[in-house]
Amino acid sequence: MGRTFDIIPLRSLVAVAATGGVHRAATSLALTQSAVSQHLRRLEREAGRPLVRRDGRGIAFTPAGEELLSHARAILVAHDAAVARFESTRETAVVIGAAQNSSAVVLPMVIGRLRESFPGTEVRIHLDRNATVRSMLDSGSVDVAVTTRIAPELRARTEGFRLRWLWSAHHGQPDPGTVMPIITFSAPCTLRQPSFDAFSGTPGGWHVAAEVTDLATGLEAARAGVGAMLVPVLDRLPDGVVALRCAPPTPAIQLGVAYTERTRTEVRETITKVLGEQLGPERVEMLHNASFPMPA
């Protein structure tokens, strides 16, 4: 029999990329760290080559891992769409689409509460780009999409849920006034233009040092000293990075809980309430999917 890449290990692979590490991926999937690590080793056995490697306390993808990751995302989109199409009843599952750039902040808060609120209901997560999970919401592949939005009408925070510029903990910080190397998600991305705007008025300006498609790769590049990256955080920063000392002020950020007519009221209201309790109600907005602007 030929090689087989099973859905569950592939989901762990995508979660590691989206959340930036094995621990956060395990939390988002309600699994143990050892289970996620076993999934990665299983995929490596099937692939016949390493897919990930340790990078300090973080995880980095090998070229083969990046290639499989691309296929894994496409496979999971098709799989979840098929499941949604043929489920006998949507009451038996809640499928959440979540933006990668905030998944490490959002998912630990939401998963446990949903399982408590809807006992006997399967809770599944799809981690992807803002635009992708919004499209999946329109097509019915997910029940609700938790996305990010720059909120200039709000005051930016100095603690709690906020945007921060991150830099390698193992490399010297850049001098003020020098050209700032920036790591950014490829378009479309909510944080892309704010990343450019931040240093546009500085004496040195900026240049794109790396474009990435997932959080793990972006954090890997930041740890390696490639550049600075704008990331939503709570008070604890990801391993291997520190705050950029010469960072300009960051804009306020807000989470959007997007829904459609198919979304059960109790699902969207529960998610909005949980996030509001943890982040502050003014930092969470619930609107119909058609009312949210798409990321540039």
**How far is it, in rounded angstroms, from Cα 291 to Cα 28?**
27
- Same-domain status, 94 and 117: yes
- Same-domain status, 234 and 188: yes
What is the per-residue DSSP string for 126-177?
EEE-HHHHHHHHHHTSSSEEEEEEE-TTSPPPSSSSEEEEEEESSSPPPPTT
User: Is there a domain that residue 156 lies in?
Assistant: no
In the chain, how many domains are there? Answer: 2
**CATH number for position 102:** 1.10.10.10
- Give pLDDT tens digits for 196-206: 999 998 889 99
Q: First vs last Cα of the chain: how many Å apart?
A: 45
DSSP 3-state of 183: strand
Before 188, cis peptide (omega within 30)? yes
- Same-domain status, 182 and 145: no
Structural domain for 22, as ranges: 7-151+255-291
- Same-domain status, 260 and 238: no
User: Is there a domain that residue 265 lies in?
Assistant: yes
Tokens of 263: 């979304």
Q: What is the pTM of this model?
A: 0.72
> What are residue 208's DSSP bridge partners?
182
User: Is there a domain that residue 246 lies in?
Assistant: yes
User: Is there a domain that residue 1 lies in?
Assistant: no
- Same-domain status, 33 and 71: yes
- Same-domain status, 40 and 139: yes
- Same-domain status, 145 and 25: yes
- Give pLDDT tens digits for 92-146: 688 898 887 777 777 777 888 888 888 888 888 888 888 888 888 888 888 999 9
DSSP 3-state of 204: coil
